[in-house]
Structure 1
Amino acid sequence: MATNPVENTSKTPLTLLGLGAMGTALAGAWLAAGHPLTVWNRTAARADGLAARGATVAATVAQAVAANRLVVVCLLDDASVLEALDGVDLTGKDLVNLVTSTPGQARARAAWAEQRGARYLDGGIMAVPPMIGVPAAGAYVFYSGSAELFEEHGGILAAPAGTRYVGADAGYAALHDVALLSGMYGMFAGIAHAFALVRGEAVAPSELAPLLGGWLAAMSGSVARTAEQLESGDYAQDVVSNLAMQVAGQETLLRTAEEQRVSAELLQPYFRLMERRLEIGGGEEDLTGVVDLLRR
């Protein structure tokens, strides 16, 4: 996995298609870094502020694409990319697609771009707009696809946020993006359940918050252990609380939810997977075997 290649291209021009909240943040970062920038947006008025800062505003997508070799797309979705670039000449262009998509969509778009004479790089942005252009915020973007394109333009791409190249398979940026987001939403589910339990009690959310945050941080060590067990195939390696013990403890969690008049719908699907793993003989294992049950 490569990060932030260095290149002497601080003044290299580029084109950006799409000026929503994220696109506008990216544009501002590139302008601040000194890159001549051509922009296009369906609603042209959104470009006024960037024009005042020196951006060139193209009247059409075709004009914007023709202006520069490096073309970055930050539109709504995969369908909007197809619509915007329909009939536009991409021959010799370096197309970087930052639209949130699935791995399958990214692979299809890579083949589509290559058929039209362009090199292709897909990106998954791990940030919200206020983090863009702020190095201390820790924002970064997963990239996958043309290694040559990434090596040539990686320094430009790193101006708004850090870069992490995850492979020549164009679908891997989206795959990493969605994997991390899925883990995040699972955590949010647990946080929601925890706060629901204390709702209506003499426990202020602000009192629970540092305790919950600290506990989740402490438990994050299980991520590396799960990875090690998956790679070794030994799910009983370095087990602290085995599956049998944790399944036995489910009753207390579910009964507490019932007593507190809180739905257990966020916990029950995971608990059912734990029970299924125990039924096939994984009692001495960690929780890692649940991963295999999810595979279809």
Structure 2
Amino acid sequence: MVSQTVQTAVTVLGMGPMGRALAGAFVDAGLTTTVWNRTPGRDHELVARGAVRAESPEGAVAASPLSVVCVVNYDASDAVVRRDAVTAALKGRTVANLTADTPDRARDSAAWAADHGIGYLDGAIMTPTMTIGTPAGVFLYSGPEQLYQEHRPVLDTLGGTHTHLGTEIGRAAAYDIALLDIFWTAMAGYAHALAMARAEGITAQELAPFAQGIAAILPPLFGEGMDDVDNGRYPADINPITSTVSTMSHIVHTSEGHGIDASLMRAAEGLARRAIGRGHDADGFMRVIEIMNPR
């Protein structure tokens, strides 16, 4: 792999909102930052700030030891880096793919990179664009430890916290998928709650302070009892699953009484009832993990 004692150059492929934020942080850190985007015109501000516009993706990756890719998904990233000319230009260099996709796609990309003599790190950005270049950014990586350490000085200029999760290349994407599952399931639940509240004459503004109070209960729950979960124990320290099902049925009844789709809560209630049906009525709600993914 290309190695420098001090790397002073980096390439960013993809000029969507996150790609522009990454490139901007590199520019602000004083790195020679080469940028390229499939659709021209999104890099004007960055070029005005000192970034270098590449006329082709192969020219972009040839400009730096490290190319950071951030596009919509791996179909889009493959369409760029797996072009013959780009693949040839990447040989002996490193790709840090911060594009969101599945663990299997990350593994496939790593195998492709290895076959072509390209260093490969997979990564995930867990915070929005406005956090890039600030202490609030959160970045996850997986792949060869040596490769991560080699390029960490450049990656660290993005600010925030950077965590290497291990050499198994799919781990960063797996964390990303699991964490986004929390986020979007929660947001779907909140949207459903607002719809139900509206049907009962409660505005979003009225509900929001109490919703924030409910949300504040969750962080401690995410950390408590994880040893029990990892060992297949689901004590009902807070609430037995039978009580949980009763509450869920009230939500379903009220929702459907207003003609509101309750499929999200019906799915959760169904999992809980299956756990009870298998004799786990004295356990807590997290017993449903074993229904979804049996040991």
TM-score (structure 1 length as normaliser): 0.90
> Could you tell which deviates more after superposition, 268-277 or 83-92?
83-92
Given the alignment of the two structures, is residue 57 of structure 1 paired with residue 53 of structure 2, yes or no?
yes
Using the TM superposition, give the Cα deviation of residue 226 of structure 1 relative to its aligned residue in structure 2, in angstroms.
Answer: 5.0
Q: Secondary structure at the match of 1:95?
A: strand
Given the alignment of the two structures, is residue 81 of structure 1 paired with residue 81 of structure 2, yes or no?
no
Given the alignment of the two structures, is residue 195 of structure 1 paired with residue 189 of structure 2, yes or no?
no
Given the alignment of the two structures, is residue 99 of structure 1 paired with residue 95 of structure 2, yes or no?
no
Conservation of the 8 A alpha-carbon contact between 1:229 and 1:288: no
The CA deviation string for residues 190-230 of structure 1, in whole angstroms up to 9 with x for no partner, is: 21222122204443321210111111211332222352221
The CA deviation string for residues 228-256 of structure 1, in whole angstroms up to 9 with x for no partner, is: 221232212x6211112222333323222
1:186 matched residue in structure 2: 185
2:274 matched residue in structure 1: 276
2:147 matched residue in structure 1: 149
Matched to 1:55, the amino acid is A
Matched to 2:40, the amino acid is A
Identity of aligned residues (%): 34
Q: Distance in 2 between matches of 1:253 and 1:42?
A: 47
What do you get for the CA RMSD once the two structures are aligned? 1.9
1:4 matched residue in structure 2: none
2:127 matched residue in structure 1: 127
1:39 matched residue in structure 2: 35
Q: Distance in 2 between matches of 1:200 and 1:252?
A: 15
1:48 matched residue in structure 2: 44
Which of 241, 244, 256 is 1:243 aligned to? 241
Using the TM superposition, give the Cα deviation of residue 170 of structure 1 relative to its aligned residue in structure 2, in angstroms.
Answer: 0.9
Q: Secondary structure at the match of 1:100?
A: coil
Conservation of the 8 A alpha-carbon contact between 2:248 and 2:265: no
1:295 matched residue in structure 2: 293
TM-score (structure 2 length as normaliser): 0.90
Conservation of the 8 A alpha-carbon contact between 1:166 and 1:173: yes
Q: Distance in 1 between matches of 2:150 and 2:19?
A: 22
- Change beyond 3 A, Cα 1:95–1:272: same
Using the TM superposition, give the Cα deviation of residue 47 of structure 1 relative to its aligned residue in structure 2, in angstroms.
Answer: 2.2
Q: Distance in 1 between matches of 2:12 and 2:122?
A: 14
Q: Return the structure number with greater relative CO, CA threshold 8 A, min gap 6.
A: 1
Q: Secondary structure at the match of 1:249?
A: helix
Q: Which runs of 5+ in 2 are unaligned?
A: none
Conservation of the 8 A alpha-carbon contact between 1:257 and 1:264: yes
Matched to 2:56, the amino acid is T
Q: Which runs of 4+ in 1 moved over 6 A?
A: none
